[in-house]
Amino acid sequence: MSFHNFLLSYLQSLRDSVRIAKHAPSRIWEEYCVLKLEEVRRLKKALLDGVKILEEIEDELDGDDS
C-alpha cells in the first residue's frame, strides 16, 4: 500500500469512527469529542506543516530560488 493510500485510508477511518461515535450516549460522545478533537488538531497541524515542506521541496526541484 502506498503512503498516499495509507493516509487516505486512515483519514477515512477516522471520519467513519466519528460518525459512528455520534450515536453513543451523550457522556461517552462528549469524552470522545475531547480526545478526537485533540488528535484531529495535531494531525491537521502536521499535515499543514508537511505541505509547507513539500512546497519547499517542489520549489527546489523546479529550480525556483525565490
Give the residue extent of every domain in the chain. Answer: 3-62
Residue 3 binned pLDDT confidence (cut-offs 50, 70, 90): very high
CA-based max dimension of the chain: 55
pLDDT digits (tens, 9 = 90+) for 17-63: 999 999 999 999 999 999 999 999 999 999 999 999 999 999 999 98
CA–CA gap between residue 47 and residue 66 (Å, rounded): 23
What integer pLDDT is reported at residue 1 of this predicted model? Answer: 73
Of 47, 44, 65, which Cα lies nearest the Cα of 56? 65
Q: How many residues does the chain have?
A: 66
pLDDT digits (tens, 9 = 90+) for 4-17: 999 999 999 999 99
